[in-house]
Amino acid sequence: MTKIEEWSKTHWQNFLAMQQPKWPDQDEYQKVIASLSKLPPLVFAGEIRECKKQLAMASEGKAFLLQGGDCAEDFSMCTAPAIRESLKVILQMTVILAYAGGKPVVKIGRIAGQYAKPRSSDTEMINGVELPSYRGDMVNSPEPTPAARRPDPNRMVEGYFRAIATMNILRAFTKGGYAALDRVHAWNNEFVKSSPAGRSYEQVAGDIDKAINFMRVCGVDTNIPQLQQAIFFTSHEALLLGYEQALTRQDSTTGDWYDCGAHMLWIGDRTRQVDGAHVEFLKGVLNPLGLKIGPSHDIDELKRIITTLNPHNEPGRLTVINRFGVDKIEQYLPHLTREFKKEGFRLVWSCDPMHGNTYTSESGYKTRNFDDILKEIRLFFDILRAEDTIPGGVHFELTGENVTECIGGGQNIQDKHLRDMYLTKVDPRLNAEQSLELAFLIAEMISGQ
Ligand code: PEP
Ligand code: CO
């Protein structure tokens, strides 16, 4: 293993990088990386440090992490209404979770850069023709033609500018009054009153009303930044290492390296080899990192990955995002927890109840069932508590749009409804109502924690 002193933002190139597109024209690719390297960063080192500080609180049970957004952002959905609706649902979930848990919620979107996807196969057969798999809008386009599927590095530049546009409007929304507590809570009241799914949550919503009113009668000035603005962080899977390298910059005040493409980056379940390029690259940037862990893992390798990525055991640096699926979480999570505990690792434990619960419905749509998602979260809380470990957060694929991609929930979406509003290009997302319902249900799990 290389020593940290040997690290540079290009050193990963000496290691095997899984899941990279086969860029047809290397010169063109290198030109794109060079031009991206000169463009301004999306986020700043100070913000990244703040994100890590908040995650350190989550690792100690003093905050709760809510990470969510699209499976794969879609270039055509880089619009103010779409971004606003996704932000809105995350803010609404935040108020519910913060009230129930009695602690701040660390809000991290899968947004402003979640444009590249790992795939189980490099190619797929469509109508008898073998085509490169769709790898996210930053790589190619999903239409089933050879031209659309050809990886085009210029898409990384387009992705960068769309990420910048997304970031800009997020900053405006979160600082410009849109995230004010009373406003967000008014939306929750609307959900509770106007939707059949919402009615069961009248009590919690009423309690939050009372808490806000109580602040007012005590003379608390609600016109303060803490109640009017939100701190919202961005994240994506650090998959395309050329893109990540180009956005990695040295902080002028400390000399440290940060991947300024997002506040938090995660390593996917398919790219976390201890001797692979993704671990090599990410060990040298000081951002908070997520590590996805699914059923196929080797505990000793995981331990080596964790010590490589977090040699000083710094709290907030690493979030373990487990994604076993409702049928497997009981088999794997207790053991994992015990093993990591033995090592004394300081981690945020976050549950991704989406990626282990994907299946193809009878009508042929890739979907997930609301009840499986809920059950996996319940098991996550039960298992970690039994192991005396802190359940630190949750990780969702969700959208503010009224899609029909996941089955179940209060709207009782069934297989026959999936075709109505199935918009995702990769994995199925919870819609706004399903997301809020889950927040209320998680609130029951964490209240009095
Ligand atoms: C994802 O988060 O969209 C993803 C691909 O997850 P995983 O790496 O856990 O399969
Ligand atoms: Co996904």
74 touches 260 (CB < 8 A): no
> 405 has which bridge partners?
none
Q: Which atom of ligand 1 is nearest to the CA of 110?
A: 2
Beta strands in 338-419 (DSSP E): 348-351, 359-360, 366-367, 391-397
Q: Over pLDDT 90: what percentage of the chain?
A: 90
Q: Which atom of ligand 1 is nearest to the CA of 71?
A: 3
131 falls within a domain: no
Q: What is the predicted pLDDT for the residue at 352? A: 98
Instruction: Select from 110, 137, 279, 323 the residue to mutate for testing ligand 1; criterion: most ligand atoms less than 8 Å from CB.
Output: 323
Q: What is the pLDDT of residues 203-230, one digit of tens each?
A: 889 999 899 989 989 988 888 888 888 9
Ligand number with the minimum distance to the CA of 110: 1
Q: In this structure, is the dihedral angle defined by the CA atoms of residues 209, 441, 197 and 98, taken in order, positive or negative? A: positive
130 falls within a domain: no
Q: What is the predicted pLDDT for the residue at 2? A: 44
- The length of the chain, given as a count of residues: 449
The Cα-based distances of 81 to 160, 329, 339 in angstroms read 20, 36, 45
132 falls within a domain: no
C-alpha of residue 366 to centroid of ligand 1, in Å? 15
235 touches 265 (CB < 8 A): yes
Q: Mark the ranges of the chain whose per-residue pLDDT is less than 70.
A: 1-5, 448-449
Q: What is the predicted pLDDT for the residue at 199? A: 83
146 falls within a domain: no
C-alpha of residue 228 to centroid of ligand 1, in Å? 33
What's the CA gap between 448 and 446, in Å, rounded? Answer: 6
CATH number at residue 8: 3.20.20.70
Residue range of the domain that includes 201:
4-118+153-447
What's the CA gap between 227 and 233, in Å, rounded? Answer: 17
Beta strands in 150-263 (DSSP E): 232-237, 248-250, 257-259
125 falls within a domain: no
134 falls within a domain: no
Residues 6 or more apart from 190 whose CB is under 8 A from it? none
128 falls within a domain: no
Q: What is the predicted pLDDT for the residue at 223? A: 86
Q: What is the predicted pLDDT for the residue at 6? A: 83
Number of domains in the chain: 1
442 falls within a domain: yes
Cβ of residue 68 lying under 6 Å from some atom of ligand 1: no
Q: What is the predicted pLDDT for the residue at 200? A: 83
Q: What is the pLDDT of residues 242-279, one digit of tens each?
A: 999 999 999 999 999 999 999 999 999 999 999 999 99
Task: For ligand 1, atom 8, name the residue with the nearest CA.
Answer: 268
Cβ of residue 118 lying under 6 Å from some atom of ligand 1: yes
Q: What is the predicted pLDDT for the residue at 448? A: 57
